[in-house]
Structure 1
Amino acid sequence: MTEQGKFAKGVVAQGFVAHSFVAHSFVAVGGGVLVLVALVCAITGALSPMANPSDFFASSLTLLPQAAANLVLALIGAVTTATGLVTARRGSAPAPLRVASIGGLLVLLGPGVLAAVGYLPFLLVSALAGDVAPLRNYLSPALVLQLVVVALVVTLLLSWIEQAVRADRGETSNRGLWWTWIAIAVPLVYTVSRVLMAIGIPDLSMENSSGAAGLGLGAAAAGGAVLTWGLIRPWGERFPRWMIGLAGKRVPVRMAVVPALCAAVLVLAGSRMLLSQMLADNPGIPNNVVVWLPIWLWPLWSFALVAAAMHYRLRRARAEVAIAR
């Protein structure tokens, strides 16, 4: 390898090392927090915030007895901490350990966290108008832990992507591009279905409040699709000309990758609630393929977003290497 090639590889490696130290420390500490919460609840007999059936933001651990819930929470936290420590020491963790930590954290992820993030802007506007009562729900300890879980999953996924970048040999593949288009198409399908429901198409109409909420979620999904499109467009790499002060400057990689990963995790969390409502035959949801098909596609949307983020990161890393050469 030439000196220029070594320097180019070093550019990527330095970014990886800088990210690794902070990321792995956070993963180790975050896992320790979950273990600590489980131990405190087990010793004091307090109700676990992650297994409190009266809390909208609790996790699926509500299905377990408190003792079992504390044990599961402690085990997941311990595996997560081990992943952070092993990766910090060796530079990477065995794939089974990473999968176990991410899978365990996803078990803890409750559907309420998507609603909390999605409705926060609306509630903040309402608070400015004088209605602050709904914001008190955000004081939930379970929600705080849910946000920690989201951050841990995103960090682990980002670390996995960075390791893939470091090991990249420059092979080209269209798979990432196809996954990006899937991540664009699914939310647009969801948006169309919600618009049809909101305008009262026969056999698709819902009550006014549900229709308005669905329309708002559809608009958010459409916005997400546009941002995902940016992962394969020039304006996703350099700020467009109309952005005064930023025009022509390179978009920071993590400004695109991290939101995509956050959206993927939140979409997966939200899909649990939507799918459970479908399986429970919720009378408020019309039994029509236009309604239920987009909901069943949400897990695919989540996976596609992760793949799209990885494709974007690999492509930007190759561009950085090319510039360094």
Structure 2
Amino acid sequence: MAAADRKPILISGAGVASLLLAQSLFRASIPFRIFEKDASIIFRAQGYRLRLSNEGLDAIEAALGPEGFQKFWDACGKTGGVGFTTIDALTADPFEDGIPTAKKAPDASAEASKILRETLASREGKVVGISRGDMRRIFLSGCEDFIDWGHQVTGYELTDSGVRAIFADGSRSIEGEMLVGGEGIYSRVAEQVSGGRLKVFDTGARGIHGQAPTTAFKGLGEGVWRAIDDSRPDGRVFIITNVRPGSMDDPSVDFGWTMGAQSGVIQPPNDDYTITGVTAANIARSITKDWHPV
């Protein structure tokens, strides 16, 4: 059937998976339409990094094609160094099989290569990563004319020959050949398909994502680092950061870090997990106040 005669594939949500699907459809000349509740690609900050496995890179390359993938690959960060190493947040001792070693390592990079237990490397022996926001922007390229911003899908209705998406204001989309629910764990499409059997449960765990000048991580050296604090009576807390080469001496460049913890350790005021700025920073400072300077 010619593309002009086909009903489009409807896609709910403009996350990384939905946009990569759109790229595949675009290259195959299959019509599609994306509906996204945000007002634009920059409406929401989505800057944390995603590590990409060989399988993930292969899938992205297959969807984008040679030229598109090269643009994506050039935007990715590639980290070598000691690979993936875990240290004790209080002492900077390396962890060996999950247990802190007796050996001190104030400059963790000096000992880290001796106790490597995990690898995150994919292509070229490097850890490959890219921020979620950059990934979305690259995957959106070329598909801008096929996305409707400010359209939150709250359900769907089947027709005699296809499906229509239902939006928050009660309006309907054009008729599509199928509807893909790509709007994440709170997908209203998935909820309707499952007949309400699909449930999302809050574990109570919270996290904080932030950025710091690259010089703050110079003592660690190049690599992917995880620092774990098991000393707290309310549960384990950790941070993970990716220290990339070529910019550790440039304070104008920021590296991202992510803090995670067991339920109850990170307690935002009023259990508001959307807080930003000073309030979030002060929570992170209070949790890490006794950590090793490195």
Superposed pair shares fold, TM > 0.5: no
TM-score by length of 2: 0.25
TM-score by length of 1: 0.24
**Higher helix residue share:** 1
